[in-house]
Every structure is written in structure tokens, then in C-alpha cells.
Amino acid sequence: MRRLLRLVPLLLFTVGCGVVQSSEGEATDAAREVARKAGQRLYGQRPRTAEEVGRSASGIDGVEVLQVTGTSTNEGNGIEVVVRTSGSAYNGWLDAEPVSVRRCFAVRVSPESQWREDPRDVDCPDGPPPAFAPPPEPPRLPYEELRAKLPRVPDGGRADEAEVRRTLAALDLDPAIRTEVKADGGRVGVLLAVPGNGSDAQDCLLARVDAGATEVWVPPRIQRMPGEGGCTVGNALDPKPSPH
């Protein structure tokens, strides 16, 4: 019996150490998941500079950017971003307070990286974190000018694609504005769009020139989110129903 009583404190100490290790491991996994989700936000095929990637990463909640290496996502091994994230975990009733950790991970941003790719555990680098200039203001989309200048087609007529293209050329649009024009069955659809960041709603204008009606509009925000297809010339010709 005495021998058993002597073993009890040792067993409790061993179990206690295991609890601490388990809680810290779960907290580290939680921090790693934050870094993994940051990688998902940064994932994409569009070429971006190190400045663009770093600035995007620094805007993600719970992520501190400590280092950015590489020149472009589409050159060499792409861009590597070292981020510091936090994680917390309880281990049942034995933890009066959560175990919290701060860990650093390397997130790779390249067309060759995988969706939900595991970030690499790294030592936190020394030195001050990099600073990023604010993004340039996107060019203004010429809603009023487009509505005023697009041709009007009388009832029974057909829209002229060449005339629509000449109208857009005369607007002297900012080079950053992407323009698409498509004719279909006597109608002409127009898309004017500025580059998005891949996660927020994109800015765009749609227009349709048809017999008896020339319309210019901005699609609803939900349709302008990535993957929703709102900022397409097809949506100008055959608009999606408005969300309710």
C-alpha cells in the first residue's frame, strides 16, 4: 500500500505533463490552421508581386506578416510569406485557463501550390516586420458617361457592335479598366471592370444596347463576389436574377 501511495504523485505528475503537451499541441494546430486559411485567401493563378501578396496577407485577421521573399508568384518558386499566428486550446476540466501559443509558419503562394497546402513550421525571423504601401486607388468606372454616350437603337432595329466599340474608345478609359464587348442576336453587351483582389466584391459596370432600350447598371454585390459570374459580359446580355 505504501508503495502504491508513493507512485500516485509520480503518476499525477506524468499525466499532468501529458496534459500540458496535449494542450500546447492543440493550440499549435489551431495557430497552424489560421496560417492555412491565410494561404487559402492568398491562393490564386493571377500573377502578383511580393508587395501585393504581402499587403494582402497583412490585411487578414489574426495574421502578422514578418517576412516576404521572392519577386513574383509566377517566377521561380513563387512568393513565400512568413506569418505569425496565435492559437489556444483547453484540455478538459484540468485546464483552468486556455493554453495559448504564438507560432510562425511559411506560406507559399505560387500557381504550383496546392489548395489548403500545409504551411511549413519555421522559426520566427528577427528584425522589424515589413511595411507595405497602401494599394493604389482603382480607377473610377464611368457610369454616367457610359449611359450618356452609348447609342440608342429604335424599336425593330439592331445594335451595331462596331458603333459600341467606337463609343468606348472615345471615352478614353483608364488602361486598368478591362473592357469586353459581345454581340448576340441584334443586342450588344458591354463589361467594364477593374481588377479585384480575389476575395472581395469586384467593381464593374454592365451595359446592354438593344432595340428600344439601352441600359447601364452595377450588378448586386453578391453577384460581384469571386466565382459568382456577375462581372461578365454574359451577365450583361442575359442578367442573372437579383438575389432576394
pLDDT along the chain (244 residues), means of 10: 44 44 86 95 87 92 96 92 94 74 96 87 94 87 96 95 96 93 96 83 95 96 90 94 72
Exposure of 2 in the CB half-sphere (CA atoms within 13 A): 0
Looking at residue 4, its pLDDT comes to 40
Interacting residues of 95 by C-beta distance below 8 A, sequence separation 6+: 19, 23
3-class DSSP assignment, residue 222: helix
The pTM assigned to this predicted structure is 0.60
Looking at residue 116, its pLDDT comes to 81
Please give the Cα distance from 181 to 214 (Å, whole number): 14
CA-angle at 163, arms to 161 and 166, nearest 5°:
110
Looking at residue 244, its pLDDT comes to 56
The residue written with cell numbers 478614353 in the block is 172
Rg, the chain, Cα only: 27
